[in-house]
Amino acid sequence: MKRNLFWLAIVLLAAAVYFGLLVTVADQYLGADLSLGLPIVARTLIAFLGGLAALVILIVVDDFSNLSRPKAIGLAGILFLLIGSYFGLFVAPPEQFMGETQRIMYVHVPTAWFALVAMTLALASAVVFLFGGDYDWDARMEASIEVGVVLAFLLCCQGAIWAKPTWGVWWDWDPRLTTTAVLLFAFLGILALRKFSEDPHKRAMWSAVATIIAYVDVPIVYFSVKWWNSLHQQQSNPNTVSKPFWIPLRANAFGILLLMTAFIMLRSRVAALRLKHELAPPPALSGSEIGETV
Amino acid sequence: MLIAALRKELLLQWRSRAQFMAVFVFGAAALLLFSFAVGPVAEMLRQFSAGFLWLGLLLSSTLTLAESFHAEMENRALEGLLLLPANPRALYYGKAIANWLQLILLGIALVPVMVVLYDAGTTRLGLLVVVIALGTAGLSAPGTLYAAMTAQVRSKQTLLPLLLFPLIVPALLASVKATSLIILGDPMNQISAWVILLVAFDAIYWSLCGLLFSRVVEE
């Protein structure tokens, strides 16, 4: 069952990469039509849903025993990131208004997507843990929070790098930027809480509760800051993003998706192993040791 | 049940009223220090007075909240309370309401300090009290829940603000905005929007934290 689900995820991923990336590459650089007659909306939807479903399935069916899978997925992710960076830096033309600065969008936008995805995974793991009590989900929650924190931190850095030449300041009190920063600190606090609590049961319960509370805060922070102050690029969609920009954006999106999946799988493995170690009874004293202490 | 829990908390707070005084002095000292950070420009201090009041209140509230589970941690009293045939939710709401009342009192006590130091007088005192009540409600609901966790771990003094500060950003923002509009005048009548935001924040966290509290203290 789990084996079949794993391969289902791979098939979904392949479909997502095919319709999201290969069709556009072939159209742009080979002049071939590989779309199989599907309209662009359907292709985008398959790429989006297929990628997300693959991510969820891969993480859910992972039982922390197999090390080669996350390694292979991570390597594939790095490969996609290399391809995306090559296209983004050398192939895609500079943007009309922002020039070369805009190229950071090829990593910034996918980072933003998957920071949110990682936090959502953390929320889902917290809810499943609170209602089911399965410690595998505690491990997945820890992994998702940590990966989400790293992505949110990268997001803030990339945003600052982009904002300096564009807006003239490193930081701006825009709703999305501020929400990301608040989210980063909220989840860092949960990681600190996990570090400081020694009882594995309490640690799991508390961090699940704190994750739910912190996640609920996200929309409230967003809207309150939006009322307070606003200045940010409107979100783009496939209709407002010109075709040459698609390829690096999507290649990087798949790259971060795969890399994130691999990191979460590896990190939850570490968390599960540590928990096993903590819950294990202390090793029995062997005869010779008793003799020595006496 | 809730009444009994609340009575216990209020009695505890009354018996330790010296602590309230200490927290108030801390808050007032913070307000004094903020003015040194800006400089003796009366106009600017008046401009920032609402922000300073809420920052002072927030900093002092972490002291109050961090102490709020102090009595329960001694002699494993929390376990004893949980063994009572009562819903832990009543325990939570009793404590949260007691903390809330104490923070309202603290906020009201800090207002004269703010008025004197920053020349930030206002005649709309009723509205100011409402905003203080709603804002401190936003601090006390998640603050009490987090205090229940952090009271049981090492370095609780660091951990509580670390968890609480990012969370209450919307409440702080709305309270500062509303208070500042009360003090500086509200020509566009924006105050109601911020009050609604505060009410929404309070409603969400007072219900959510009550639901989740039993998971935090269960053994």
Which whole number is the average pLDDT over A258-287?
84
Task: Report the C-alpha gap between B152 and B159 in whole angstroms.
Answer: 11
Interface of A with B in 204-233 (CB under 8 A): 205-206, 208-210, 212-214, 216-217, 220-221, 223-225, 227-228
**pTM, full prediction:** 0.86
Cβ–Cβ below 8 Å for B149 and A220: no
Q: Give me A200's structure tokens.
A: 């594995």
Confidence of residue A231 (pLDDT cuts 50, 70, 90): very low
Q: Is the C-alpha dihedral spanning A7, A262, A203, B85 positive or negative?
A: negative
* Residue of B122, B159, B139, B125 lying closest to B201 (CA atoms): B139
Between residues A98 and B142, the one the model is more confident about: B142
Asked whether the predicted pLDDT for residue A288 surpasses 70, the reply is: no
Q: Residue A43: pLDDT above 70? A: yes
pLDDT in tens, B100-158: 999 999 999 999 988 888 888 787 888 899 999 999 999 999 999 999 888 888 777 88
pLDDT for the residue numbered B103: 93
Question: Cα separation of A268 and A263, whole Å?
Answer: 8
* Range in A7-16, A141-150, B51-60, B133-142 the model is least confident about: A7-16
* Mean pLDDT score of chain B: 87
Percent of chain A with pLDDT over 90: 29
- Residue B176: per-residue pLDDT: 92
The stretches of A133-199 forming alpha helices (DSSP H) are 135-167, 175-196
Distance CA A274, CA A260 (A): 21
pLDDT value for A294: 44
pLDDT at A142: 93
Question: What is the pLDDT at residue B29?
Answer: 92
- Residue A202 in contact with partner chain B when CB distance is under 8 A: yes
- Residue B152: predicted pLDDT: 83
Of A205, A214, A228, nearest to B216 by CB-CB distance is: A205
User: What string of DSSP letters covers B88-137?
Assistant: HHHHHHHHHHHHHHHHHHHHHHHHHHHHHHH----S-HHHHHHHHHHHHH
Higher pLDDT, B202 or B155: B202
B193/A227 Cβ within 8 A: yes
Per the CB < 8 Å rule, is B155 touching A213? no
More confident residue, A109 or A289: A109
Average pLDDT for residues A61-84, to the nearest whole number? Answer: 88
Q: Assign A188 a pLDDT band (cuts: 50, 70, 90).
A: very high
Looking at A40-174, list the stretches that DSSP marks H as alpha helix, in order from N- to C-terminal side: 40-61, 68-86, 105-132, 135-167
pLDDT of A207 > 80? The answer is yes
- The whole-number pLDDT of residue A208 equals 93
Which residues lie below 8 Å from residue A151, measured CB to CB, with a gap of 6+? A111, A114, A115, A118, A256, A260
How large is the angle between the packed helices B156-167 and A175-196, nearest 10 degrees? 150
Which of A182, A186, A224 comes nearest B174 by C-beta? A224
- pLDDT the model gives residue B86: 78
Backbone angles phi, psi at A93, to 5 degrees: -70, 155
- Structure confidence by residue, pLDDT tens digits, A121-141: 999 999 999 988 888 899 999
Of the candidates B162, B212, B215, which has its C-beta nearest A189's C-beta?
A: B162
Mutation target among A190, A213, A216, A228 for the B interface, most CBs of B within 10 A? A213
Q: How many CA atoms lie within 13 A of B83 on its CB side?
A: 6
pLDDT the model gives residue A123: 94
pLDDT band at A98 (very low <50, low <70, confident <90, very high): low
Average pLDDT of the residues of chain A:
84
Task: Tell whether the model's pLDDT for residue A237 goes beyond 70.
Answer: no
Within 13 Å and on the Cβ side, how many CA atoms surround B78? 20
Distance CA B193, CA B186 (A): 12
pLDDT value, residue B16 = 82
Window from A50-59, A236-245, A247-256, B53-62 with minimum mean pLDDT: A236-245
Tell me what the mean pLDDT of segment B151-168 comes to. Answer: 86
Each residue of A218-228: pLDDT tens digit?
Answer: 888 888 887 77
Tell if the CB–CB gap between B201 and A220 is shorter than 8 Å. Answer: yes
